[in-house]
Structure 1
Amino acid sequence: MTQKPKVLVSDALSETAVQIFRDRGIDVTFDPSLGKDKDKLLSVIGEYDGLAIRSATKVTEKVLEAATKLKVVARAGIGVDNVDIPAASKKGVIVMNTPFGNSITTAEHAIAMMFAVARQIPEASTSTHSGKWEKNRFMGVELFNKTLGVIGAGNIGSIVIERALGLHMKVVAYDPFLSEERADKLGVEKVELDELLRRADFITLHVPLTEKTRNILSAEAIAGMKPGVRIINCARGGLVDEDALALALKEGRVAGAAFDVFAEEPAVNSPLFNLPNVVVTPHLGASTTEAQENVALQVAEQMSDYLLTGAVQNALNMPSVTAEEAKIMGPWVKLAGHLGAFAGQLTDEPIRAVNILYNGEVAEMNTAALNAAAVAGILKAHNPEVNMVSAPVIAKDRGIALSTTTQEKSGVFDSYMKLTVATDKRERSIAGTVYSDGKPRFIQIKGITIDAEIGAHMLYTTNEDVPGIIGALGQTMGENGVNIANFTLGRSQKNGDAIALLYVDEPVPAPVIGKLKATGLFEQIRPLVFEV
């Protein structure tokens, strides 16, 4: 008789979710205090095939080393900061999350915070509780007919937009990936960030924390805001310069703020604390009974499906393909991600369409999974939380049209993929194949034939085909201690467009990029990063 899979639930999960495991024939251990006891977790984790967690359990490399039978870790919620995903991948452990279970709850919290800061509800409540009747002190403002600036119009941002329009607010949105078509469908005006800051009466943030979004509301940005603006952040700590905001609040340039997230958490001494008309909550965005229940039930179903049937849903480190497909498709999934990552890192304007051409044998594979890997690669350049499951949904929400073309073998390669990304300004294409050794390669960029090995750190340049390019690249890199592992060149024709793709051992420092730009030889210089 086949032994039942064993699952450990080491954080608080609803009894209904635990019962799903039992009903599906899973041997489940429910010990919600175990996640906080590192030593005990280490002593028992080797018995289990699956681990269901929230945020208390830390799935470290040490825990994964002890988890000799573990096949899947599933997080009830979106954040997986408490899971060492690279270590899990090396161990062959799938990491899942539940990316959409708390979207409505988080959006509603942002709306609630907006009401609270508009009418100074927390301060008025405290005053009234203390026996005061300060009716004239708490003069609020209406939301009706005010302009709401939404930074980030993805899953949660779009829900906030829908609610705000229901309140008869005017909504402007800034999102690099928001197309005009999607903006029209949402009923918002798409604007650049500086215009949003200049026009908005209220600003709410709904973007992930990346190097591009860190301090997106900097001191300079805050200085460019409409006087009397109110700022709401229920997304991620670090999106707003809290010191600059505190100063603007004290000076009266910003009328109020409502924050659920902070640069440092748990937040105990934020500069925003104890300022008038600043509403703060302890990261409660996903804290409703419904949201917690939804993600708990979802995680139980996902884990059961995988352990019993091999089906993979919402995996952050594995494509959603069957076990039979995975062995054959693995290198092609990696190639698709690399093609997407290349295009995503080079595209700064909103993408309106993506086409993927499958030529030869790859056209007979599970192209839906390859599509998802490619789109995830594109979107990860601006949102590292995207995975293969969420990428198609996010792309659809943002109005990105995805199409595929399949054709029989043509050209010198038995099989290849070509990714084309279209914006309102340009089209960008890149093609690749998988060699017999299982390694993905880039074979064409901008229609120029190349043969490029793909590394974790690369440098891409474009230029006019003139003498001196190789010398400038090699000399500048050498003088600054940057080791080149592989150097690929290509050109459209003599004296035409030319490209170079360098595979380097370490990221190219910004000063070195600056020196290359100073030569005046290059039209474009981009450092690139790939998950190899």
Structure 2
Amino acid sequence: MPKVLVSDKLSETAVQIFRDRGVEVDYLPDVGKDKEKLAEIIGQYDGLAIRSATKVTAKLLESATNLKVIGRAGIGVDNVEIPAASKKGVIVMNTPFGNSVTTAEHAIALMFAVARQLPEASASTHAGKWEKNRFMGVEVFNKTLGIIGAGNIGSIVIDRALGLRMKVLAYDPFLSEERALELGVKKVELDEMLAKADFITLHVPLTDKTRNILSRENLAKTKKGVRIVNAARGGLIDEEALAELLKSGHVAGAALDVFATEPATESPLFGLPNVVVTPHLGASTNEAQENVALQVAEQMSDYLLTGAVQNALNMPSVTAEEAAVMGPWIKLAGHLGAFIGQMTDEPIKAINVLYDGVAAEMNLKALNASVISGVMKATNPDVNMVSAPVMAAERGVQIATTTQAKGGIFDGYIKVTVVTETRERSIAGTVFSDGKPRFIQIRGINVDAEIGAHMLYTRNKDVPGVIGALGMTLGDLGVNIANFTLGRTKAGDDAIAILYLDEELKPEVIEALRATGKFIQVRPINFEI
């Protein structure tokens, strides 16, 4: 039974989901704040469910000897060192959709608040004043909203803004013209949006490309009287430059829910008129907190029990339906990679993968990860589908993927080729109707080889006596053959044999086979079945 630690405050309903699904769970909502205690116990767990209090550092991951998945109840993963998790082979998941509506609504609320100066007007009225003429606001009707980021949350904001009869300009490098038309917005470049927008709202993650996207230079390009809203991530806006433009009157107002440094106990924006600030409340509704907690429990349980991967940040997602269909193909991809990795002694320069027929229509990112993992296991047994692509990139291994329509007698197949300084080596396989993967071609020679945990590969010249020597040597040493497959290019030329054995070959068996002088190559191959 997999075991999960919940180290931050999470809904009791979410904790019960783990139990109902058959996952053992320890609910210790305060341990995430105790680094030493967390490091002491983390090695017991397969999964770690967190919110924002727990900091998953590279140092903590060193103690996480059994950890397979980290689930963040929420969208932000600033508290998880994802590269370190990837190297460790730990999947990092978040819940990007559980608080989407809540965050989008908060952005709209902030826009209204700054448009009508609601917080200041409320404070003034609470103080017994009646300053009706002091708080002159503006309508959002018929105004232009500039939106930076038209993804999940951004698209909800767009929908709400159009309902308010606003005009919407969207800047998002990944937004297609077709999607912009579907959303009902005009796709523009950043400079055009800055120059024309009456309101600007940000809905992008904090990355190297988005950091300080509203820099001093870009803020200076905005339309005079603009009002700016940020309910996404801190660090997207140059807060000092924004404060200066607010003081000068170029920016008429700003509303921020997030800051470059949090908790934000001081900021150049604090105390300025018509600046609305809230303490990162974007996801703070009862509905959102419950939704993300339930979602992370479901996602982690699915992965630990079925292998389904949803909303992973460092591995291709595989739905439960895909996992059921692709399971044999993912195993095949791993076996192909493992075979060729164990057969290759030189440093690998490139891994080329061809997907044919039905295989070409599957989740290729997941299949690729399995291939790479299989190859890399030859030199690092602890590698997995998460860490393998990272390892390949660090070693400068080039990965190329090709797809093609059904081109042979099989409904589909996968062919893996590795390239070294001196040669190329390839192997192909398919999945039969019984759900079992098979090798169908090695070194260009057609075969039909069942795959077992312990196998033997031999290469020889196609001459009489080789099969007899192979069988007799194994028999004399007590090695039982479960399956025996032969193949050759043509009579008298190269021939290969693939044997599925009942047990792992001992070194003395390999030496005895080589000593016969019948073989060009003798290589034991082992698989995780």
Please state which band the TM-score falls in when normalised by the shorter chain: 0.5 to 0.7
The answer for the alignment partner of 1:101 in structure 2 is 98
- 5 Å-filtered alignment, 1:315-326, equals 315-321=312-318, 322=323, 325-326=329-330
Give the secondary structure class of the aligned counterpart of 2:129: coil
Choose the corresponding residue for 2:148, options 143, 147, 151. 151
- Number of the residue aligned with 2:20: 23
> For each residue in 1:228-270, what CA deviation from the matched residue of structure 2 results, as whole angstroms up to 9, or x when unmatched?
1101111122221211111111111111000111122222221
Q: Give 1:260's match in structure 2, choosing from 252, 257, 262.
A: 257
- Tell me the alpha carbon deviations over residues 50-98 of structure 1, each in whole angstroms, 9 at most, x when there is no partner: 2111111122223222222222221111222222323323333222221
1:483-502 alignment runs, 5 A limit? none
Alpha-carbon distance between aligned partners in 1 of 2:360 and 2:307, rounded to the nearest angstrom: 16
Residues 1:314 and 2:311 are matched in the alignment? yes
Aligned partner letter, 1:197: L
Q: 1:54 aligns with which of 51, 54, 67?
A: 51
- Structure 1 equivalent of residue 346 of structure 2: none
Cα–Cα, structure 1 residues 121 and 434, in superposed 2: closer, same or farther, change >3 Å? farther
Match for 1:406: what amino acid? A
Q: Is the 8 A contact 2:356 2:403 kept in 1?
A: no
Counterpart CA distance in 2 for 1:45 and 1:372 is 28
- 1:86 matches 2:83: yes
Is contact 1:332-1:434 (8 Å) kept? no
Aligned residues: 364
Deviation string, structure 1 residues 300-338 (Cα, Å, up to 9, x no partner): 1111112222222222223345465445446999xxxxx
Shift of 1:175: 1.4
Q: What is the distance in 1 between the residues matched to 2:5 and 2:235? A: 34
Cα deviation for residue 24 of structure 1 reads 1.3
Question: Does structure 1 conserve the Cα–Cα contact (< 8 Å) formed by 2:315 and 2:366?
Answer: no
| Offset at residue 10 of structure 1 (A) | 0.7
The equivalent of 1:273 in structure 2 is 270
Q: Secondary structure at the match of 2:145?
A: strand
Q: Is it true that 1:368 corresponds to 2:351 in the alignment? A: no
SS for the counterpart of 1:435 is strand
What RMSD over aligned residues (CA atoms) do the two structures have, in Å? Answer: 2.8
**Which residue is 2:407 aligned to?**
408
TM-score w.r.t. the length of structure 2 is: 0.64
Q: Is the 8 A contact 2:5 2:27 kept in 1?
A: yes
**How far 1:364 sits from its partner (Å)?**
4.9
Q: Distance in 1 between matches of 2:34 and 2:353?
A: 52
Q: Which residue of 1 aligns with 2:418?
A: 435
**Residue 362 to residue 171, structure 1, CA distance change in 2 (3 Å):** same
Matches of 1:361 and 1:135, distance apart in 2: 70
Pick the aligned partner of 1:288 from 250, 269, 285: 285
Q: Which amino acid aligns with 1:225?
A: T
- So what's the TM-score if we normalise by structure 1? 0.64
**Aligned twin of 2:114:** 117
Deviation at 1:104, TM superposition (A): 1.0
- Secondary structure at the aligned position of 2:405 is classed as strand
Deviates more, 1:247-256 or 1:192-201: 192-201
Of residues 156, 168, 174 in structure 2, which corresponds to 1:171? 168
Q: Of the two, which has the highest radius of gyration? A: 2
**Which letter does structure 1 place at the counterpart of 2:302?**
D
Per-residue deviation at 1:163? Answer: 0.1
1:243–1:271: 8 Å Cα contact kept in structure 2? yes
2-side partners of 1:268 and 1:72: how far apart? 34
Distance 2:97 2:237 in 1: 24
Q: Please report how far the alpha carbon of residue 372 of structure 1 lies from its aligned counterpart in structure 2 after TM superposition.
A: 7.5
Aligned-partner Cα distance in 2 for 1:165–1:119 = 19
Q: AA paired with 1:14? A: S
* Structure 1: gaps spanning 5 or more residues: 334-357, 375-386, 388-402, 417-432, 442-532
Question: Does 2:225 match 1:242?
Answer: no
Gaps of 5+ in 2: 338-351, 369-385, 387-401, 425-529
The alpha-carbon distance between structure 1 residues 373 and 86, as it changes in their structure 2 partners (threshold 3 A), is farther
The structure 2 residue matched to 1:199, chosen from 196, 199, 202, is 196
Residues 1:220 and 2:217 are matched in the alignment: yes
Matches within 5 A, 1:31-42: 31-42=28-39
Q: Tell me the amino acid that sits aligned with residue 435 of structure 1.
A: V
Correspondence for 2:301 among 296, 299, 304: 304
1:408 is matched by which residue type in structure 2? G
